[in-house]
Amino acid sequence: MKTPGIFDALLENLKVGDTAAAVTSRRDEITKALNKDFRAKDVCTDYKLMVGSYGRHTAVKGVSDLDMIFILPPGLRSYYTGDTGPRRILNRVRDDLKARYPNTDIRVDQCVVRVQFTSNAFKFEVQPAFENKDGSFDYPDTAAKDWKLTKPRDEICATKECNDRTSTNMRHLARMTRAWKNANGVNMGGLLIDTLVHEFFSQTGDYDSAGTGLFDLMARDFFEFLKNEPDKEYYLALGSNQRVNVKARFQPKAKKAYNKALEAIADEGKAAANKKWREVFGTSVPLAVTEASQAFSNTEQFIEDRYPVDITESVTIDCEVTQNGWRPTKLRKMLRDGTPLMADRSLKFMVTGCSVEPPYTLKWKVLNRGPEAERRDIVRGQIIDSNRHNTRVEHSNFKGGHVVECFVIKDGVVVARDRIDVPISNTRGT
């Protein structure tokens, strides 16, 4: 498949699609419930604003965190001043929504009321706020016991301006970046992604009118831009210039994506290009069908087919390699040192760090790759459970560039993932 076909398909598969109708329905239900209390109006869907990625129109299929401002009547402002004001207004919103959704998990979370819908894995974060004359908002913060300022309309306007100037490529690249972070477990918030994309387009006009035939080069250059960014604690958000924190370093995974993009560009027009772009952007990139791909049983499963994926947390895995008579060694250290991993070793894959608050569910994927796996017809790749607590024990059997992935599922959504390459160097053993 040629480059335009790959990226046309990618963008089509990233569309929010049917999810939009469900989001609109839930949004309007929430707004009606709040207007009934705050304005004594039964079926009013005014006084709301979708913000975040969904409001900036940079969200992708699988989006689960939905940010919404409910605009409070200005006459109530004086009733919610003082240290207790933020808590009281959030409790009132919570109670209104609990009355509307008595069987739904609804709770106050510092600045918002979280509404966790289990039927479609949506999590609405409803932020009551007073609108200011300049279009900004004052929102409640229970930690600070005060009201703080936010300017989401400025961020929405900056996104639209850049998108119009770049022939819609700003939103295209922002969605592609979300696909990359979801496929590779990059813990980046949506506002940070849009801010970095905005910054990229402010530094180059090379892709302001580019079609999808140049999106391979645009992706390459963007990942080069990301990998070369200095470490920062925060950026100033597009439009609002408000502080947006960096949750975790993104540069190492951007470097991997840049190198993979170089390989994919070199393979342009070949089936290998699809496969390499898929490693960058995930299963929304279609695979080319080849004779080789039909020579063995295709048992690989994809987490995206089972759960929405919206990476908002981090998880790290490693592997303890052991053999009778030898001291256990960590696989990541072996890979850094260039130490070969031989067959006939015990492999204990384990979680070494996780930012997700329990409870959560852990799933694994063990994928055998290479000619030997295909010849033996044991590619595997199914989504499986731990066989010990937060641990998956395997055995190195035969040569190949195998891969193990770990997925953390919270409230029905994959919120963190990590992978480790398992390059087995010889064919001793079974």
Residue 203, pLDDT > 70, answer: yes
pLDDT score recorded for residue 50 = 98
Least confident segment among 189-203, 250-264, 269-283, 375-389: 375-389
Is the whole-model pTM more than 0.75?
A: yes
Our count of domains for the chain comes to 2
For the domain that residue 104 is a member of, what is the CATH number? 3.30.460.90
With respect to residue 28, please indicate whether it lies within any of the assigned structural domains. Answer: yes
With respect to residue 26, please indicate whether it lies within any of the assigned structural domains. Answer: yes
4-8 contact pairs (CB < 8 A, 24+): 4/211, 4/212, 4/213, 4/215, 6/216, 6/273, 6/274, 6/277, 6/285, 6/286, 7/212, 7/215, 7/216, 8/212
> What single letter denotes the amino acid at residue 167?
S
With respect to residue 277, please indicate whether it lies within any of the assigned structural domains. Answer: no
Task: For residue range 162-176, list pLDDT tens digits in order.
Answer: 999 999 999 999 999
User: What proportion of the chain, given as a percentage, has pLDDT over 70?
Assistant: 94
For the domain that residue 318 is a member of, what is the CATH number? 2.60.40
CA distance 227 to 14: 24
Task: For residue range 69-113, list pLDDT tens digits in order.
Answer: 999 999 999 999 999 999 999 999 999 999 999 999 999 999 999
SS (H, E, C) 186-228: CCCCHHHHHHHHHHHHHHCCCCCCCCHHHHHHHHHHHHHHHHC
pLDDT score recorded for residue 373 = 61
Residue 155, pLDDT > 80, answer: yes
Task: For residue range 283-316, list pLDDT tens digits in order.
Answer: 999 988 664 445 567 788 999 999 999 999 999 9
> What are the φ and ψ backbone dihedral angles of 74, each rounded to 5 degrees?
-60, -25
Q: Which two tokens stand for residue 343?
A: 């067959």
User: Where a domain ends, among 154, 181, 215?
Assistant: 154
For residue 336, the enclosing domain spans: 297-424
Task: For residue range 139-148, list pLDDT tens digits in order.
Answer: 999 999 999 9
With respect to residue 53, please indicate whether it lies within any of the assigned structural domains. Answer: yes
User: Where a domain ends, among 154, 173, 207?
Assistant: 154
pLDDT score recorded for residue 171 = 98
pLDDT score recorded for residue 428 = 45
pLDDT score recorded for residue 402 = 84
What are residue 364's DSSP bridge partners?
384, 406
With respect to residue 188, please indicate whether it lies within any of the assigned structural domains. Answer: no
pLDDT score recorded for residue 398 = 67
Query: Comparing 290 with 239, which gets the higher pLDDT?
Result: 239
> What are the φ and ψ backbone dihedral angles of 129, each rounded to 5 degrees?
-155, 150
Residue 17, pLDDT > 70, answer: yes
Q: Residue 401 — pLDDT band, cuts 50, 70, 90?
A: confident
Average pLDDT over every residue of 114-129: 90
Average pLDDT over every residue of 249-259: 98
With respect to residue 353, please indicate whether it lies within any of the assigned structural domains. Answer: yes
pLDDT score recorded for residue 19 = 85
Mean pLDDT of the chain: 92
User: What proportion of the chain, given as a percentage, has pLDDT over 90?
Assistant: 77
Average pLDDT over every residue of 257-275: 95
Q: Which two tokens stand for residue 54?
A: 């969904």
Task: For residue range 36-59, list pLDDT tens digits in order.
Answer: 999 999 999 999 999 999 999 999
User: Where a domain ends, among 107, 132, 154?
Assistant: 154
With respect to residue 23, please indicate whether it lies within any of the assigned structural domains. Answer: yes
With respect to residue 146, please indicate whether it lies within any of the assigned structural domains. Answer: yes
**Coil/strand/helix, residue 47:** coil
